[in-house]
Amino acid sequence: MKFGGTSVGDVERIARVARIVAAERKPGRGLAVVVSAMSGETDRLVGLARASAGETPNGGGLPAKDFNDEYDVIVSTGEQVTTGLLALALRRLGIPARSWQNWQIPFRTDDAHSKARISEIEESELGASMDAGVVAVIPGFQGVTEDDRITTLGRGGSDTSAVAVAAALKAERCDIYTDVDGVYTTDPRIVPKAQRLEKISYEEMLEMASLGAKVLQTRSVELAFAHCVPVRVLSSFVEPGEPNPGTLVCPEEEIVEKQVVSGVAYSRDEAKVTLLGVEDHPGVAAEIFDALANGNINVDMIVQSEARQEGRQNILFTCPEREAGRAAETIEAIKTKIGVDEIHIRRDVAKVSVIGIGMRSQVGVAKTMFAALAQKGINIEAIATSEIKISVLIDAAYTELAVRALHTAYGLDAA
Amino acid sequence: MKFGGTSVGDVERIARVARIVAAERKPGRGLAVVVSAMSGETDRLVGLARASAGETPNGGGLPAKDFNDEYDVIVSTGEQVTTGLLALALRRLGIPARSWQNWQIPFRTDDAHSKARISEIEESELGASMDAGVVAVIPGFQGVTEDDRITTLGRGGSDTSAVAVAAALKAERCDIYTDVDGVYTTDPRIVPKAQRLEKISYEEMLEMASLGAKVLQTRSVELAFAHCVPVRVLSSFVEPGEPNPGTLVCPEEEIVEKQVVSGVAYSRDEAKVTLLGVEDHPGVAAEIFDALANGNINVDMIVQSEARQEGRQNILFTCPEREAGRAAETIEAIKTKIGVDEIHIRRDVAKVSVIGIGMRSQVGVAKTMFAALAQKGINIEAIATSEIKISVLIDAAYTELAVRALHTAYGLDAA
C-alpha cells in the first residue's frame, strides 16, 4: 500500500491511513506501507538545503556533485518522520507495526544522488517481520547506496518505491492510494461523462502516463510491467469499509474484453518547431536530431515534407514547451552548415491521443479519429502512431473540443 | 567541536558555525563536529509524535514501550537535517565535509529508547575520512542499537555525544560551543563581579553541574572524566578570529594554582520535608529512605535530630520541588507503621554550595562559610558536605544575598 503527501498531510489524515491499513489486514496476509513526506515538508527541506548551499534566485551555490549527496540526507528525513508517525498511529489501533528505514532493509540504489535508480531490495528480514504479523512502514522516494550513503529517487519516486517493494516481496498487489479514485477514460474535468476503468494494461497505462494523464508516474508503471506486479490505483479519501474499487493496472492477458480505445489523453505542454527550406541531402535529418539529442531536447513527433523550392524540404518536430527556445538556438547554431532557410516556433499547440490495446487487431481506428476531428473542423498539424496509440497535434484552442469528440466517437461516454 | 540548537538555529547561524570550524582547521588536524537540531525543531517533532500516539492533555496514548522506538525515529531527524546543512555550508567555504549518520559510523547504544546509553563507537572509517582532511559532521543526541534501530540519548544528550566521539577518536580536545563564554565562579546575573574560570577540574565541574550551574550536562562531564577528555566550554557567538578562550575542564593535575573555593553554585529547585516525632528504634531511617527510593524520590540532604519528646526524633530531608508531594504521600502511607507524628513540606528553600578541590588540603573552609552567612543574618536549615563541596539549605528569599556574600568571602570577586 502506498500513500502520498496529501494522504499523510497531518496527524488526522495519518490516523485515517492507519484505519485504511487496518481494514486490509487478514490472517496470513503481510502488509507493507510505503509513505511520502507530509505535504509541504519536502519543499521546506529543499528550501533549507538550497539556502545552506548558498543558492540565490540568480543561481550561484554549489555544483550538483557537491550538493546532491547532502541534499538527499536532508530531504529524506521528511519520509522518515511519516514512517514513525504512521507506525505509532497503527499501534494506537492495536496493530503491531514498525518503521523500516532503507538502510535497515536494505533498499539499495545506485549512487546517482537526487535521481537514483533502485538496484536491489533485500527482503528476507522485512518479509519475516511481515509474516509475523507486523505491518512494515517504509519511506518512499529514497534508498541507500552500496557504501551506505542516503539517496533519493527524485521527486515523486514514492510510487516507484512502492512497486519495487511489492516486486521484491512478490506481493499479490500494489495499491497506490491517491487523490483520485482510479484511472479514467479521459480527464473528467473536460468530459463529465468520462468513466473509471476497471482494468487497464501496463502498455496502455504507460501511454496514458507519458501522454499527460498524471495518475501514476511512468517509472513506476515501467517497473510494474517489468516485474508483472498488479497495481491498483484507488482513493485515499474513501472511509474504510466504503466501496473503493479503483483501477487495476495489469497484464494484457487479464483483460478479457479488450477495448479498441481505452482512453483519450492530451498534453498542452507542447511546442511545434518548423524548419523551412532544409537542404535535401542524405544525413541532414541525422545531423539535426543528433544536435537536438546532444542538447537534451526531448523530441516527440517528426514530420518531413517536400518544400516548394526544388532540392529543399520542410521538417517539423515537437518538444516540451520549455525546451522550444533551446531547440531553436541549437538549430540556429548549425543553420548555415546544414542549410536551413527559416526556423519557426509555435507554442499554442496541443497533442491529443487515443490509446487502446485493441488497436492491434482492429482496422479503421485512425479513420474514426480523423473523421471525428474533421467533423468539428479541427485541423491536424502532425500525426504520430505506435502499435497501441494514435497522436495528433492540433491548435491548443481546440483541445477540449477534440477530447470530447473522440471520447464520444469511440463509445467511451457513460450512459 | 559541538554546537547546540541555538548556535544552528537558522541558515545564517549555520554559516557562522561553518566559519568557526574553518578557523580551527590546520594541517594534520582532523575535525569532527557534533550538532544539535535547529532550535524549535525537536519540540515540533515531539509534538507530532505525541499527537500521532494519541496523547491528550489528560494523558492517554500509547505506553512507553510502544512509543519510544518510533519516537526516536521521528525526533532523530532533527539533527540529521542539521548535519546535511552544515556539510553544505562547509563545502560552500571550499572545505571538504560530509555528514555521518550514527548507523553509518556506527555509533552504538543500548536499546533503552529515548534515554539510551552509549556503548561503543567504531571510529576506524570515520577517523580515516577525517585523516584525509574531510570534516565529519555528526548528529548529536542519538545512536543505533546492535540490531540497527535508531535511539536517542534523551534531551540534551548532544554534549555527551560530542565527548563520546572525542573519546573514541582520542581527540586532543572536545570544544563545546554554547551561548555562554565559559564557566564562571558563580552566576553572573546574580554577581556581576563573577569571573570566568580559565580551568576547572572534572570533579569541580561535576559538582557545579549537578548543583544547578547549567553550562554542561552532568553525563557529559562524567564521560569526559572517565576517559580523560579535555573539554573546553566557549562561546558560539564570537566571530572567528576574535579571542574566545573559554574554560577548560581538565584533570586536577593540570591545575597548578588550586583555589580553595573555585565557585559558588545554587539551586532553587528544592523542597524540605520534615518528619516530626519519629519513633526512635533501629532501622526506622532505613525504612523511610527505602520507601522513598522505591518511590523514585531523589533525596539529597538528610538531617536527624533529637525530638523534645523522649524516645522520638525528627528527620529532615530535601528533594527536588516537584517530588515533594509524592515524598509526603510515600511517608503518609507508612506513617502509622513506622510511627511519625507530623509531616511538613516547605518549598521556599534554596541550596547554596561552595566547591573547590583545594578544600581537601585546607581547614577552616566551612567556618568561613558559616561566618559569612551569619554576618548577613541568614539561618542555615541543613548542611551537607563532600570532599570538595559544602552545601547549606537556606530560606529561598536569601539566595542572592548568600551567593554574593560567599563569592566575596572566598575572594572570588573580580578586581
pLDDT tens digits, A305-357: 887 788 889 999 999 999 999 999 999 999 988 889 999 999 999 999 999 99
Q: Which amino acid is at B371?
A: A
The whole-angstrom distance between B55's CA and the closest CA on chain A is: 10
Contact call for residues A331 and A285 (beta carbons, < 8 A): no
Q: Across the strands, what pairs with B175?
A: B232
Above 70 in pLDDT, residue B165? Answer: yes
Query: Hey, what's the cell of B283?
Result: 532501622
Contact call for residues B6 and B37 (beta carbons, < 8 A): no
B67/A74 Cβ within 8 A: no
The band of B94, judged by pLDDT with boundaries at 50, 70 and 90, is very high
Instruction: Using alpha carbons, list the distances in angstroms from residue B88 to A63, A64, B93.
Output: 11, 11, 9
Instruction: Using alpha carbons, list the distances in angstroms from residue B32 to A89, B17, B77, B89, B331.
Output: 37, 13, 19, 15, 50
Contact call for residues B143 and B118 (beta carbons, < 8 A): yes
Measured in residues, chain A has a length of: 415
Architecture of domain A2-252: 3-Layer(aba) Sandwich (3.40)
Q: Kindly state the greatest CA–CA separation across chain A.
A: 80
> What's the CA gap between A235 and A196, in Å, rounded?
12
B150/A101 Cβ within 8 A: yes
| CB contact B9 to A (< 8 Å) | no
Of A30, A70, A21, nearest to A177 by C-alpha is A21
Above 80 in pLDDT, residue A213? Answer: no
Nearest CA in chain B to A10: B48
Above 90 in pLDDT, residue B311? Answer: no
Question: Which residue carries 523530441 as its cell?
Answer: A299
DSSP string, A326-393: HHHHHHHHHHHHHT--EEEEEEEEEEEEEE-GGGGG-SSHHHHHHHHHHHTTPPP-EEEEETTEEEEE
The pLDDT of residue B134: 98
The pLDDT of residue B191: 94
The pLDDT of residue B154: 81
Sign of the torsion formed by the C-alpha atoms of B75, B77, B83 and B85: negative
The pLDDT of residue B389: 93
Q: Does domain B264-409 have CATH number 3.30.2130.10?
A: yes
> What's the CA gap between A317 and A343, in Å, rounded?
11
Best mutation site among B81, B114, B152 for testing chain A: the one with the most A CBs within 10 Å? B81
The whole-angstrom distance between A145's CA and the closest CA on chain B is: 12
> What's the CA gap between B96 and B174, in Å, rounded?
21
Cβ-based neighbour number of residue B93 at 10 Å: 14
Above 80 in pLDDT, residue B214? Answer: no
Tell me the mean pLDDT in the region A135-152: 97
Contact call for residues A111 and A118 (beta carbons, < 8 A): no
Which string of b and e fits A41-57 if b means at least 16 CB within 10 Å?
Answer: bbeebeebbbbbbbbee
Above 90 in pLDDT, residue B239? Answer: no
The pLDDT of residue B110: 96
Q: Give the HSE-up count for residue A237: Cα atoms under 13 Å, Cβ half-sphere.
A: 8
Query: Hey, what's the cell of B178?
Result: 554554547
Q: Which of A48, A66, A88 sits opposite B52 (nearest CB)?
A: A88
The pLDDT of residue A216: 87
Q: What is B2-253's CATH number, 3.40.250.10, 3.30.390.30, 3.40.50.300, 3.40.1160.10?
A: 3.40.1160.10
B62/A85 Cβ within 8 A: no
Sign of the torsion formed by the C-alpha atoms of A372, A377, A378 and A380: positive
Domain with CATH 3.30.2130.10 in chain B: 264-409
Above 80 in pLDDT, residue A214? Answer: no
Sign of the torsion formed by the C-alpha atoms of A96, A180, A246 and A261: negative
| CB contact A48 to B (< 8 Å) | yes
CA angle (B151 as vertex; B150, B154 as ends), nearest 5: 155
Tell me the mean pLDDT in the region B266-278: 93
Nearest CA in chain B to A78: B77
Tell me which H or E stretch contains B267. strand B263-279
The band of A59, judged by pLDDT with boundaries at 50, 70 and 90, is low
Least confident range from A302-316, B64-78, B115-129: namely A302-316
Sign of the torsion formed by the C-alpha atoms of A77, A78, A81 and A83: negative
Tell me the mean pLDDT in the region B131-136: 97
| CB contact B74 to A (< 8 Å) | yes
Say what the alpha-carbon torsion angle A111, A113, A115, A116 is, to the nearest 10 degrees.
20
A89/B73 Cβ within 8 A: no
Least confident range from B26-40, B132-146, B199-213, B315-329: namely B199-213
> What's the CA gap between B190 and A267, in Å, rounded?
71
For chain A, the straight-line distance linking the first and the last C-alpha, in angstroms and rounded, comes to 32
> What's the CA gap between A301 and A391, in Å, rounded?
9
The band of B152, judged by pLDDT with boundaries at 50, 70 and 90, is very high
Question: Which residue carries 515501467 as its cell?
Answer: A222
Query: Hey, what's the cell of A240?
Result: 474504510
Tell me the mean pLDDT in the region B233-262: 90
Of B355, B346, B350, B366, nearest to B400 by C-alpha is B350
Q: Mapping DSSP to helix (H, G, I), strand (E, B) and coil, where does residue B199 land?
A: strand
Query: Hey, what's the cell of B398?
Result: 536569601
Domain with CATH 3.40.1160.10 in chain A: 2-252
B53/A91 Cβ within 8 A: yes
Least confident range from A92-106, B21-35, B257-271: namely B257-271
The band of A88, judged by pLDDT with boundaries at 50, 70 and 90, is very high
Sign of the torsion formed by the C-alpha atoms of B363, B368, B370 and B371: positive
| CB contact A21 to B (< 8 Å) | no
Tell me which H or E stretch contains B316. strand B312-319
Q: Across the strands, what pairs with A352?
A: A266, A392
Instruction: Using alpha carbons, list the distances in angstroms from residue A277 to A72, A304, A309, A345, B303.
Output: 48, 11, 7, 15, 106
What percent of chain B stands above pLDDT 70?
97
Computed over every residue of chain A, the mean pLDDT equals 93
Under DSSP, the state recorded for A335 is: H
> What's the CA gap between B307 and B295, in Å, rounded?
27
> What's the CA gap between A321 and A346, in Å, rounded?
9
Above 90 in pLDDT, residue B370? Answer: yes
| CB contact B307 to A (< 8 Å) | no
Of B29, B236, B232, B36, nearest to B135 by C-alpha is B29
The whole-angstrom distance between B138's CA and the closest CA on chain A is: 12
The pLDDT of residue A364: 87
Above 70 in pLDDT, residue B364? Answer: yes
Best mutation site among A42, A56, A81 for testing chain B: the one with the most B CBs within 10 Å? A81
What percent of chain B stands above pLDDT 90?
78
Q: How many helices (H) and strands (E) does chain B have?
A: 12, 18
Tell me which H or E stretch contains A127. helix A124-131
- The backbone torsions φ and ψ at residue B277, rounded to the nearest 5 degrees and listed phi first, read 65, 45
B49/A84 Cβ within 8 A: yes
Q: Which of A51, A61, A103 sits opposite B11 (nearest CB)?
A: A51
Query: Hey, what's the cell of B63?
Result: 505506553
Above 70 in pLDDT, residue B337? Answer: yes
Contact call for residues A21 and A1 (beta carbons, < 8 A): yes
> What's the CA gap between B387 and B356, in Å, rounded?
9
Instruction: Using alpha carbons, list the distances in angstroms from residue B287 to B141, B181, B260.
Output: 38, 46, 38
Helices within B53-168 (DSSP H only) = 64-75, 77-92, 124-131, 158-168
Of B166, B294, B299, nearest to B226 by C-alpha is B166
Above 90 in pLDDT, residue B60? Answer: no
Least confident range from A37-46, A356-365, B268-277, B320-329: namely A356-365
Above 80 in pLDDT, residue A278? Answer: yes
Above 70 in pLDDT, residue A57? Answer: no
Tell me the mean pLDDT in the region B99-105: 98
Residues in A closer than 8 angstroms to B98, CB to CB, are 69-70
| CB contact A80 to B (< 8 Å) | yes
| CB contact A61 to B (< 8 Å) | yes
Tell me which H or E stretch contains A159. helix A158-168
Radius of gyration in angstroms for the set of CA atoms belonging to chain B, rounded to a whole number: 24
| CB contact B91 to A (< 8 Å) | yes
Tell me the mean pLDDT in the region A267-282: 91
Domain with CATH 3.40.1160.10 in chain B: 2-253
Query: How does strand B342-355 pair with strand B263-279?
Result: antiparallel
The band of A360, judged by pLDDT with boundaries at 50, 70 and 90, is confident
- The backbone torsions φ and ψ at residue B33, rounded to the nearest 5 degrees and listed phi first, read -120, 125
The band of B198, judged by pLDDT with boundaries at 50, 70 and 90, is very high
**pTM of this structure:** 0.86
Q: Give the HSE-up count for residue A21: Cα atoms under 13 Å, Cβ half-sphere.
A: 34
Which string of b and e fits A101-126 if b means at least 16 CB within 10 Å?
Answer: bbbbbbbbbeeebbebebeebebeeb
Computed over every residue of chain B, the mean pLDDT equals 93
A48/B98 Cβ within 8 A: no
- The backbone torsions φ and ψ at residue B291, rounded to the nearest 5 degrees and listed phi first, read -60, -40
CA angle (B258 as vertex; B256, B263 as ends), nearest 5: 135
The whole-angstrom distance between A49's CA and the closest CA on chain B is: 6
Q: Which amino acid is at A53?
A: A
The band of A163, judged by pLDDT with boundaries at 50, 70 and 90, is very high
Q: Which amino acid is at B342?
A: E
Tell me which H or E stretch contains B97. strand B97-99
Tell me which H or E stretch contains A227. helix A218-227
Q: Across the strands, what pairs with A184?
A: A196
